[in-house]
Amino acid sequence: MSQTAKLELEGKTFEFPVIVGTEGEKGVDVRDLRARTGYITYDEAYGNTGSCQSRITFIDGEQGILRYRGYPIEELAEGSTFVQIAYLLIFGKLPTEPERQRFSDLLTDYQMIHEDMKFHFEGFPSGSHPMAMLSAMINAAGCFIPEVMNRYEPAIFERQAARLISQVRTLAAYAYRKSRGLPAIYPKRKYRYTQNFLHMMFSEPDEDYHLDPAVVDALDLIFLLHADHEQNCSTSTVRMVASSRANLFASAAAGVCALWGPLHGGANQAVIEMLEEIQIQGDDGSRFLERVKQRDGHAKLMGFGHRVYKNFDPRARIIKKACDVMLDKMGIHDPLLDIAKKLEETALNDPYFVERKLYPNVDFYSGIILKAIGIPSEMFTVIFAIGRMPGWIANYKEVIESSDSRIYRPRQIYQGEIQRPYVPIEER
Q: Which residues are catalytic?
A: 306, 363
Burial of 422 (C-beta count, 10 Å sphere; 0-12/13-18/19+): exposed
Half-sphere exposure of 48 (CA within 13 A, CB side): 8
* Residues 319-338: x where in contact with ligand CMC by CB under 6 A, - otherwise, as a string: --------------------
Number of residues engaging ligand CMC in binding (CB under 6 A) = 20
344 binds ligand CMC (CB under 6 A): no
* The 65-68 sheet, strands edge to edge: 57-60, 65-68, 71-72
**According to CB under 6 A, which residues from 206 to 235 bind ligand CMC?**
229, 232
**According to CB under 6 A, which residues from 1 to 30 bind ligand CMC?**
none
Q: Which of 250, 267, 323, 340 binds ligand CMC (CB under 6 A)?
A: 267
Residues paired with 368 in a beta bridge: none
The length of the chain in residues reads: 428
d(CA 218, CA 144): 33
Min separation Cβ 267 and ligand CMC, Å: 3
Cβ closer to ligand CMC: 176 or 304? 304
Q: Which of 187, 265, 387, 391 binds ligand CMC (CB under 6 A)?
A: 265
305 binds ligand CMC (CB under 6 A): yes
306 binds ligand CMC (CB under 6 A): yes
d(CA 298, CA 63): 29
d(CA 282, CA 303): 21
Min separation Cβ 336 and ligand CMC, Å: 16
Cβ closer to ligand CMC: 313 or 398? 313
381 binds ligand CMC (CB under 6 A): no
Q: Which of 272, 302, 318, 336 binds ligand CMC (CB under 6 A)?
A: 302
Residues 6+ away with beta carbon under 8 Å from 312: 64, 359, 360
| Cβ(36)–Cβ(14) below 8 Å | yes
310 binds ligand CMC (CB under 6 A): no
Alpha-carbon separation of residue 278 from 274, 281, 332, 342 (angstroms): 6, 5, 20, 12
* Residues 230-259: x where in contact with ligand CMC by CB under 6 A, - otherwise, as a string: --x---------------------------
Cβ closer to ligand CMC: 199 or 320? 320
- Which residue lies nearest ligand CMC, judged by its C-beta? 305
* The 4-9 sheet, strands edge to edge: 4-9, 12-20, 26-28
SS3 category, 393: helix
Applying CB under 6 A, the span of 91-99, 261-269, 279-287, 396-404 interacting with ligand CMC comes to: 261-269
Query: Would you tell me how many other CB atoms lie within 10 Å of the CB of residue 386?
Result: 25
| Cβ(339)–Cβ(285) below 8 Å | yes
d(CA 256, CA 133): 10
Q: Which of 18, 263, 332, 354 binds ligand CMC (CB under 6 A)?
A: 263
Residues of this chain that bind ligand CMC (CB under 6 A): 229, 232, 263-265, 267, 292, 300-307, 356, 358, 361-363
